[in-house]
Amino acid sequence: MHIGIIGGTIFVGRHLVDAALERKHTVTIFHRGKHNPDSFPKDKYPEVETLLGDRENEAEIHTFAERGFDAVVDTCGYFPRQVRLSAEKLVGKTPFYCFISSVSAYADLSQPGVTEDSPLATTDTPDADQITAETYGPLKVLCEQEVQQAFPEGALILRPGYIVGPLDPTDRFTYWVHRIAHGGEVLCPGDPETNMQVIDCRDLAEWTVRLLERKVAGVFNVVGPDYPLTFGEFFETCQSVSSSNAILTWVSEEFLEQHEVKAGLELPLWIPQSSGYIGIDRVDYRKAASHGLTIRPLSETVRDTLEWDMSRPQENAWRNTLKPEREQELLAAWHLAKR
């Protein structure tokens, strides 16, 4: 197959290229050249063609579309105008358009068990040009609809939860892997029995390519693992993989909220029970599983993420996560309050 990828040089796109090459396909990536432009040098990756351009430039996206593809994967559509233009240009140039969306597309994530048929988010500002917590999900829905309208028989919509693993630029999962490996007393949020869901980007990428090969259309939640995972189990896995001496101190949500700790940022992946979004970590994954989604062991994701983290430059890491001195202040206050 000849697979076109809009994006392709950071995280999801990088792993998609790797998965496609592993399965002996050729790839054309279309990106702006702003991130890792030398990811796939021609002497090492002769099967990869790189096209530089802006997806909102009609002439440049037209050049990409004119290559003609067996399938296209859109990894970086955030606004419906972007996706509308690329979809329009690709009609007749490919029979299959895969759009990477998000579980944030659902209208109500306050309860567990959201399925692909659950109501979707809506917005009064479809022309919004800023991504915020309020606009992200509804805009993803509008992007999905652009693909489905342009490709009524060949639209594949994937709604991942938290995507994790090597090359992740967000530091959400990596923060915990790194912090626990570092050892000492670790501030852990809430209850160790709190559920969490993540999907290793490599599992997402490999499954996506297999769906493209089979021309599977439709909508799928892409989350894992395929069993109920808790924060406690995740942290214990991090301890085991890194042979860490970390001491896990579980701090109540009430305390963290009183001290204005930013859920999801300073303490990544943490969704307070009071947030109204506890369903985001309990999304129904059975449809994807029935179509062949396979999930690698959590220990493998932790190990490979730690290995990658140890090899990357640290100057741009941990921009939003809890700073060590802040963590120590909070732990001291917590212990004082418990006396």
Q: Give yes or no: residues 183 and 101 share one domain.
A: no
pLDDT of residue 186: 98
How many Cβ atoms from other residues are within 10 Å of residue 109's Cβ?
A: 23
Tell me, yes or no, whether 206 lies in a domain: no
| Number of domains the chain is built from | 2
* pLDDT band (50, 70, 90) for residue 339: confident
Q: Which tokens sit at 116?
A: 């692909």
Rounded to 10 degrees, the C-alpha dihedral 272/273/274/276 comes to 100
Predicted confidence (pLDDT) at residue 320 exceeds the cutoff of 90: no
- My answer on whether 139 and 186 are in the same domain is no
Q: Average pLDDT, whole number, for the chain?
A: 94
Q: Which residue type, as a one-letter code, is found at position 199?
A: I
Residues 22 and 120 both lie in one domain: yes
> What tens digit of pLDDT does each residue of 73-89 get?
999 999 999 999 999 99
Q: Is 311 in the same domain as 245? A: yes
Residues 256 and 313 occupy one common structural domain: yes
d(CA 179, CA 183): 7
pLDDT attached to residue 99: 98
CA distance 250 to 323: 17
Cα 283 from Cα 223, distance rounded (Å):
7
Q: Any idea which residue has 């129904």 for tokens?
A: 284
Residue 208 belongs to a domain: no
Residues 245 and 305 in one domain: yes
User: Domain containing 262 — which CATH number?
Assistant: 3.90.25.10
**112 has pLDDT over 90:** yes
- What are the tens digits of pLDDT across the range 22-51? 999 999 999 987 777 677 878 788 899 999
Q: Is the same domain home to 185 and 155?
A: no
Is the pLDDT at 118 greater than 80, yes or no?
yes
Residue 220 lies in a domain: no
| Residue 164: strand pairing partners | 200
What domain range is 327 assigned to?
A: 172-197+226-280+297-334
Report yes or no on 151 lying in a domain: yes
Nearest CA among 295, 310, 264 for reference residue 166:
310
Alpha-carbon distances of 97 from 27, 56, 71, 92, rounded to whole Å: 14, 17, 6, 11
Residue 313: pLDDT above 90? Answer: no
Res 41: pLDDT = 75
Same domain for 112 and 190, yes or no, is no
Same domain, 49 and 101: yes
70 band by pLDDT with thresholds 50, 70 and 90: very high
Same domain, 35 and 98: yes
Amino acid at the residue 202? R
pLDDT (tens digit, 9 = 90+) per residue, 141-154? 999 999 999 999 99
Quickly state the pLDDT bin for 175 (edges 50, 70, 90). Answer: very high
Q: Which CA distances in Å does 127 have to 6, 7, 105, 123, 135?
A: 22, 23, 16, 9, 10
Residue 307: its H or E element: helix 298-311
Residue 219, domain member (yes or no): no
pLDDT at 291 over 90: yes
* Per-residue model confidence (pLDDT) at position 153: 97
- pLDDT, one tens digit per residue, over 178-222 is 999 999 999 999 999 999 999 999 999 999 999 999 999 999 999
* pTM, entire model: 0.95
Whether 306 maps to a domain, the answer reads: yes
DSSP category for residue 66:
T
- If asked whether residues 110 and 179 sit together in one domain, one would say no
Domain identity same for 325 and 182: yes
Tell whether 207 is covered by a domain: no
9-15 mean pLDDT:
92
**Which of helix, strand or coil describes residue 162?**
strand
